[in-house]
C-alpha cells in the first residue's frame, strides 16, 4: 500500500437513533462498530458483506450523508468526520458516488444532459454551453452519445441509466468514487458491461473506488483489496487474491460458499452440509465476544467471551478471528510473520 | 408542449357539447312549465300561449337546442324570467367576485399546504410532523361556513382588522379588495390547504427516500437545492392533481362562503335563481362553472406534462 492513503477511516462508528413503538424514547442502533479501512490513490477496495452488515453505512459516512458517531474519516489532508454540516468544496467534489438502483437514482424530471451536468453546475463556474459540451463528452466516455442529452431517464434501459449515473459521477474528475452495489440491480449480461466500464475508467483516469457489494466472487476480479464486514465489524481484509483463494475468517469462507459451484456433485454435497448445520438468526446487537460466534462452525469457548483482535494473516491482510491468531502462533519460530498490507 | 395543449383543447369539444345538451335539457326536465312560472297562478290561457310562443317552447326540441346554442356561442344566454336582466351581463358582473375569492383561497391553500407538507415531510414522525398532521385533520373536519363565522367574530367584530361583510372590486381599490377578500378566502381555503398538506407530505416523504435525492446530496448540492429542485419538482406531480380537484371544490364552496360574508358573487345569484327556477339564469351559471372547471383541468394537464416527462405525448 502507498505511504499516504487517499481515504483513511479509523475506528468509525455510525449510530442510528430509532424510535420504538409509541414511546418517544430513542434507542441507538450501531450500524458500524469501529471500522478501520484505507484506500490508496487509484486503488479499488471491495467492501463485501450481507445486507445489514453496515457496508452502506460506511459509504454514507464517507459521502457525508450520515454523521460519524465517533472515529475519523480522513480524505487527503481533510478530516471529514469533524465537519458537522458540509464538507469543504474541495473534498466534496473529489468524492462522488454511483448507487445501486438506476431506476431510482436518476431524477425522473430532469434530462440526462442536466443530470450529468448537475455537479458541474454546482461546483464549477462553467457556462451553460460549456456544461453541455462537457456532458456530451462524458456520455461518450460511457458509450452513450450526444443525442441522448435531451432525453429523460424513463427512455433508457437499466444498464444505460447506470451509465448515465457513472457519467455524472465522473463529471468533476473525482479522485474517489463510492460504488454502492453498482451492478446488483442489473441483469447478468449488463452487470459485466458496467463492471468492465468501471474497470476501463479506473485505469484511464486513475480513480480510486470504494466498491460495495454482497457478491465476493464478482468483486474480487476488479478489487485490489477486499474488506469483509459482518454486523458492523470488519472481520477480514487483505489483498483480493488472498482473501478470495485463502479466506482466513470463517465468515469469509461462508460468503464464498454462497457462490454456486459449477460441479453439480460438489454443489449437492455442499448444500447437504449447509442444511445439516443449524440455521441461526444473526443477532442485531451481539453480546460480548465475537459477533459471528453463534453462527460460526468452528466456534471455541473464548469466542463467546472475548472479541478477537485483527490478527495478521499469511499472504497479507488481517482477520479478526482467534483461529488466525493460533495459526500465526503455530508458525515455526524464525519465520517472520507476513505483515504486508 | 404546444401539442399537448392542442390535444387537450380538441378533447374539450365533445365534453362541451354534452354539457350544453344537458344544460339545455333543464327546461324540458323540470316538472313545471316555464311559462307557468312566469305567468303565475292567475294568468289567462291566452297570456300563457303568448309566453310559450315568445320563449319558443312550441317549437320541437332539436331546432330549439340549435337556436339556443347558436345564441349561446355568441354570448347571448337569454334573459332572466323575472327581471329582464341579460343572463350574460348578470354572470359577467358577478364572475370577478367569485373568481377573486376562489383564486385567493387557492393561493392560500397552496402556500399553506406546501409549507406544512414540506415541514412535516422533512422530519417524519417529529413533533412538527405530528402537529401538521393533527392540524390537517382538524382543518378538513371544520365546515367552511362555521370557520368563516368564527373569523368574522374574531378578526372583524372584535379586532376590527377586516370588514365583516361585503366585497370591494380589485379595480376600485386594491388594498380594500385585499381586506375584503382575506377572511372569506381563509375560511374557504382551510380545508383545501389541509388536503394539499397531506398530499405534499406523503409525496415528499416518498420522494426523499429515492436514491436520486441521496445522489444529489452526495454530489454536494445545498440542502435548499436538494429539497426544492430535486425533491419538490417530483413531489408536485401528485400534488397538482389534488390542487386541480381542490379548485373545483373551492368554486363550489365559494357559493356558501359568499353567503356568510354577504358577498354578491355567483353564489348569491345561483341561490336566487335556483329558488325561483329562473331557468335561463341557471343555464348560464352552469355553463360558466363548467367552462371554469374545464379551464382548470386544461391548466392542470399542461402543468402536469411540464412536471412529469412521462406524461408528455411523444
HEC string for chain B: CHHHHHHHHHHHHHHHHHHHHHHHHHHHHCCCCHHHHHHCCCCCHHHHHHHHHHHCCCCCHHHHHHHHHHHHHCCCCCECCCCCCEHHHHHHHHHHHHHHHHHHHHHHHHHHHHHHHHHHHHCCCCHHHHHHHHHHHHHHHCCHHHHHHHHHHHHHHHCCCCCCCCCCCCCCCHHHHHHHHHHHHHHHHHHHHHHHHHHHHHHHHHHHCCHHHHHHHHCCCCHHHHHHHHHHHHHHHHHHHHHHHHHHHHHHHHHHHHHHCCCCCHHHHHHHHHHCCCHHHHHHHHHHHHHHHHHHHHHHHHHHHHHCHHHCCC
Residues A303 and A185 in one domain: no
Mark whether A206 and A262 lie in a shared domain: no
- Whether B75 has a pLDDT exceeding 70, the answer reads yes
Domain total of chain B: 1
The CATH number for A215's domain is 3.40.50.300
pLDDT of residue A115: 94
What radius of gyration, in Å, describes the C-alpha atoms of chain A? 21
Output A262 or A75, whichever has higher pLDDT.
A75
Q: Which residues pair with A45 in a beta bridge?
A: A210, A225
Q: Quick one: average pLDDT of A240-264?
A: 85
What is the distance in angstroms between the Cα of B37 and the nearest Cα belonging to chain A?
58
> Does the beta-carbon distance from A118 to B307 stay under 8 Å?
no
In angstroms, rounded to a whole number, what is the distance separating the alpha carbons of residues A117 and A264?
A: 49
Residues of B in contact with A122 (CB under 8 A): 219-222, 225
Same domain (yes/no): A160, A306: no
Residue B36 CB neighbours (<10 A): 14
Structure-derived torsion over alpha carbons of residues B192, B197, B199, B200, reported in degrees to the nearest 10: 130
CA distances from A94 to A170, A268, B54, B68 (A): 10, 47, 84, 72
Q: What's the grid cell of residue A206?
A: 486513475
- Domain assignment present for residue A116? The answer is yes
- Are both A186 and A53 inside the same structural domain? yes
Look at residue B53 and tell me whether its pLDDT is greater than 70. Answer: yes
Residues B36, B51: Cα–Cα separation, whole Å: 9
Q: Is residue B18 part of a domain?
A: no
CB-based contact B223:A92 (threshold 8 Å) = no
A52: left (phi over 0), alpha (psi -120 to 50) or beta: left
Q: Is there a domain that residue A23 lies in?
A: no
Domain check: are A276 and A238 in the same one?
Answer: no
Flag whether A341 is in a domain. no
- CA dihedral sign, ordered A31, A169, A151, B238: positive
| Pairing relationship of beta strands A7-19 and A70-75 according to DSSP bridges | antiparallel
Cα gap A78→A65, rounded to integer Å: 17
Domain extent at residue A161: 40-65+94-245
State which of A224, A245, A266 marks the end of a domain.
Answer: A245
- For residue A108, which residues of chain B lie inside 8 Å, CB to CB? 212, 234, 308-310
Cβ contact B39:B48 at 8 Å:
yes
Dihedral angle, C-alpha B174, B175, B180, B183, nearest 10 °:
120
Residue A103: predicted pLDDT: 87
Name every chain B residue with its beta carbon within 8 A of the beta carbon of A89: 220
The span from the CA of A158 to the CA of A197, in Å, is 15
Q: At what angle do helices A158-170 and A128-141 cross, to 10 degrees?
A: 130
Q: B-chain residues within 8 Å CB-CB of A114? A: none
User: Mind giving me the DSSP string for A159-171?
Assistant: HHHHHHHHHHHHT
Question: Region A171-183: what's the mean pLDDT?
Answer: 92
C-alpha cell at A341: 498490507
Residue A295 pLDDT > 70, yes or no? yes
Where does residue B290 fall: left (phi above 0), alpha (psi -120 to 50 degrees), or beta otherwise? alpha
8 Å CB contact of A63 and B217: yes
The alpha-carbon gap from B138 to the nearest alpha carbon of chain A, in Å, equals 22
DSSP state for residue A278 in the 8-state scheme: P
Q: Over the stretch B114-161, which tens digit does the pLDDT of each residue have?
A: 999 999 999 888 889 999 999 999 999 999 999 999 999 999 999 999
For residues B180-187, give the mean pLDDT. 94
Q: Do A123 and B220 touch, CB atoms closer than 8 A?
A: yes
Average pLDDT in the A10-39 region?
A: 83
Report the chain B residue with the minimal C-alpha distance to residue A104. B211
| Residue B244 included in any domain | yes
In a domain, A85, yes or no: no
- How far is residue A181 CA from its own chain's centroid? 8
CB B6 within 8 A of CB B266: no
Cβ neighbourhood burial of B152 (10 Å; 0-12, 13-18, 19+): buried
Q: Is residue B33 part of a domain?
A: no
**Strands (DSSP E) found in A23-111:** 26-39, 44-48, 70-75, 78-79, 95-98
Domain edge (last residue) among A245, A272, A307: A245
Mark whether A159 and A211 lie in a shared domain: yes
- Cα B257 to chain center, whole Å? 12
Facing residue for A108 by CB, picked from B125, B218, B309 = B309
Query: Which among A89, A123, A154 has the least Cβ separation from residue B309?
Result: A154
pLDDT band of A284, cuts 50, 70, 90: low
Confidence of residue A294 (pLDDT cuts 50, 70, 90): confident
Helix locations, chain A, DSSP H: 55-62, 89-94, 112-123, 128-141, 158-170, 188-205, 216-219, 240-245, 250-257, 264-276, 322-330
Of A87, A99, A118, the CB nearest to B214: A99
Q: Contact A291/A230 with Cβ under 8 angstroms?
A: yes
Instruction: Say if residue A131 is in the same domain as residue A193.
Output: yes
Residues A268 and A223 in one domain: no
- Give yes or no for a contact between B256 and B183, defined as CB atoms under 8 angstroms apart: no
> Which of B125, B214, B216, B220 is the best mutation test for A, with the most CBs of A within 10 A?
B220
A286 pLDDT above the threshold of 60: no
d(CA B147, CA A25): 37
Domain with B171, as residue range(s), is 95-311
DSSP label at A191? H
A24 has pLDDT over 70: no
Q: Is the pLDDT of residue B164 over 90?
A: no
Q: Are strands A225-230 and A176-180 parallel, antiparallel or unpaired?
A: unpaired
Final residue in a domain of this structure, among A229, A245, A261: A245
pLDDT at B314: 55
ipTM of the complex: 0.79
pLDDT digits (tens, 9 = 90+) for B190-224: 999 999 999 999 999 999 999 999 999 888 888 89
**What are phi and psi for residue A16, nearest 5 degrees?**
-105, 145
- Tell me: do A216 and A279 sit in the same domain: no
Q: B272-291 pLDDT, tens per residue?
A: 888 888 888 988 898 888 88
Full strand arrangement of the beta sheet holding A95-98: A95-98, A176-180, A208-213, A44-48, A225-230, A233-239, A318-319, A311-312
Q: Given an 8 Å threshold on Cβ–Cβ distance, is A109 in contact with B307?
A: yes
In this structure, the answer to whether residues A153 and A283 fall within a common structural domain is no
Is the CB of B215 less than 8 angstroms away from the CB of A165?
A: yes
Q: What's the grid cell of residue A201?
A: 475508467
Same domain membership, residue A321 and residue A241: no
Cα separation, A116 vs A168, whole angstroms: 4
Q: Chain A residues with CB-CB distance to B under 8 A?
A: 19, 63-65, 86-87, 89, 92-93, 95-97, 99-101, 104-109, 111, 118-119, 122-123, 152, 154, 165, 168, 178
In chain A, the number of structural domains is 2
- For A7, the enclosing helix (H) or strand (E) is strand A7-19
Query: Nearest-CA distance from B243 to chain A in Å?
Result: 19
Whether B207 is in a domain gets the answer: yes
pLDDT for position A22: 60
Q: What's the CATH code of the domain at B275?
A: 1.10.3720.10
Task: Examine the domain organization and report whether A155 and A180 are in the same domain.
Answer: yes
Amino acid at each position: 500500500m502507498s505511504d499516504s492513503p487517499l481515504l483513511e477511516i479509523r475506528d468509525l462508528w455510525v449510530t442510528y437513533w430509532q424510535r420504538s413503538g409509541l414511546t418517544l424514547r430513542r434507542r441507538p442502533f450501531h450500524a458500524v462498530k469501529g471500522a478501520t479501512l484505507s484506500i490508496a490513490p487509484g486503488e479499488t477496495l471491495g467492501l463485501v458483506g450481507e445486507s445489514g452488515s453496515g457496508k452502506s453505512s460506511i459509504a454514507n459516512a464517507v459521502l457525508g450523508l450520515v454523521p460519524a458517531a465517533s472515529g475519523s474519516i480522513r480524505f487527503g489532508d481533510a478530516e471529514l468526520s469533524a465537519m458537522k454540516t458540509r464538507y469543504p468544496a474541495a473534498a466534496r467534489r473529489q468524492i462522488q458516488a454511483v448507487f445501486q438502483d438506476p431506476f431510482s437514482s436518476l431524477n425522473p424530471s430532469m434530462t440526462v444532459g442536466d443530470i450529468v451536468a448537475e455537479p458541474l453546475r454546482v461546483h464549477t463556474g462553467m457556462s451553460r454551453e460549456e456544461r453541455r459540451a462537457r456532458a456530451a463528452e462524458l456520455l461518450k466516455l460511457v458509450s452513450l452519445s450526444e443525442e441522448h442529452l435531451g432525453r429523460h431517464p424513463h427512455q433508457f434501459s437499466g444498464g444505460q441509466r447506470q451509465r448515465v449515473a457513472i457519467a455524472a459521477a465522473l463529471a468533476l474528475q473525482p479522485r474517489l468514487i463510492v460504488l454502492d452495489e453498482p451492478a446488483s440491480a442489473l441483469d447478468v449480461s449488463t452487470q459485466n458491461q458496467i463492471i468492465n466500464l468501471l474497470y476501463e475508467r479506473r485505469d484511464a483516469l486513475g480513480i480510486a473506488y470504494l466498491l460495495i457489494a454482497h457478491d465476493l466472487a464478482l468483486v474480487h476480479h476488479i478489487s485490489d483489496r477486499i474488506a469483509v464486514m459482518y454486523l458492523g465489524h470488519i472481520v477480514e481484509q487483505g489483498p483480493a487474491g488472498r482473501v478470495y483463494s485463502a479466506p482466513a475468517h470463517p465468515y469469509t469462507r461462508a460468503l464464498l460458499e454462497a457462490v454456486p459451484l459449477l460441479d453439480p456433485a460438489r454443489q449437492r454435497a455442499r448444500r447437504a452440509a449447509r442444511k445439516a448445520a443449524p440455521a441461526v438468526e444473526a443477532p442485531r446487537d451481539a453480546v460480548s465476544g465475537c459477533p459471528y460466534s453463534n453462527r460460526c462452525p468452528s466456534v471455541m469457548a473464548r469466542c463467546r467471551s472475548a472479541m478477537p483482535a485483527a490478527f495478521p494473516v499469511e499472504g497479507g491482510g488481517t482477520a479478526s478471528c482467534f483461529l488466525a491468531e493460533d495459526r500465526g502462533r503455530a508458525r515455526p519460530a524464525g519465520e517472520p510473520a507476513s505483515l504486508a498490507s | 408542449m404546444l401539442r399537448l395543449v392542442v390535444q387537450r383543447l380538441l378533447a374539450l369539444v365533445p365534453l362541451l357539447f354534452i354539457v350544453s345538451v344537458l344544460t339545455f335539457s333543464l327546461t324540458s326536465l323540470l316538472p313545471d312549465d316555464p311559462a307557468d312560472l312566469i305567468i303565475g297562478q292567475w294568468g289567462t290561457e291566452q297570456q300563457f300561449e303568448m309566453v310559450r310562443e315568445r320563449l319558443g317552447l312550441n317549437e320541437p326540441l332539436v331546432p330549439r337546442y340549435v337556436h339556443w346554442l347558436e345564441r349561446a356561442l355568441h354570448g347571448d344566454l337569454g334573459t332572466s324570467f323575472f327581471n329582464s336582466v341579460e343572463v350574460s351581463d348578470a354572470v359577467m358582473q358577478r364572475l370577478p367576485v367569485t373568481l377573486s375569492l376562489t383564486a385567493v383561497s387557492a393561493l392560500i391553500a397552496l402556500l399553506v399546504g406546501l409549507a406544512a407538507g414540506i415541514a412535516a415531510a422533512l422530519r417524519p414522525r417529529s413533533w412538527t410532523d405530528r402537529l401538521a398532521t393533527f392540524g390537517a385533520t382538524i382543518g378538513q373536519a371544520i365546515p367552511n361556513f362555521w370557520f368563516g363565522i368564527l373569523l368574522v367574530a374574531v378578526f372583524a367584530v372584535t379586532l376590527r382588522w377586516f370588514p365583516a361583510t361585503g366585497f370591494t372590486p380589485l379595480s376600485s381599490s386594491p388594498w380594500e379588495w385585499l381586506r375584503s377578500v382575506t377572511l372569506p378566502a381563509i375560511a374557504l381555503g382551510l380545508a383545501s390547504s389541509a388536503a394539499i398538506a397531506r398530499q405534499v407530505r406523503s409525496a415528499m416523504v416518498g420522494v426523499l427516500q429515492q436514491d436520486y435525492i441521496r445522489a444529489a446530496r452526495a454530489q454536494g448540492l445545498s440542502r435548499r437545492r436538494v429539497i426544492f429542485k430535486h425533491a419538490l419538482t417530483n413531489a408536485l406531480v401528485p400534488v397538482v392533481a389534488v390542487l386541480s380537484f381542490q379548485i373545483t371544490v373551492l368554486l363550489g364552496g365559494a357559493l356558501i362562503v359568499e353567503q356568510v360574508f354577504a358577498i354578491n358573487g355567483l353564489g348569491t345569484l345561483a341561490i336566487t335563481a335556483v329558488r325561483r327556477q329562473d331557468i335561463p339564469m341557471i343555464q348560464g351559471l352552469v355553463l360558466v362553472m363548467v367552462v371554469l372547471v374545464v379551464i382548470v383541468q386544461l391548466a392542470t394537464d399542461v402543468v402536469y406534462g411540464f412536471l412529469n416527462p412521462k406524461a408528455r405525448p411523444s
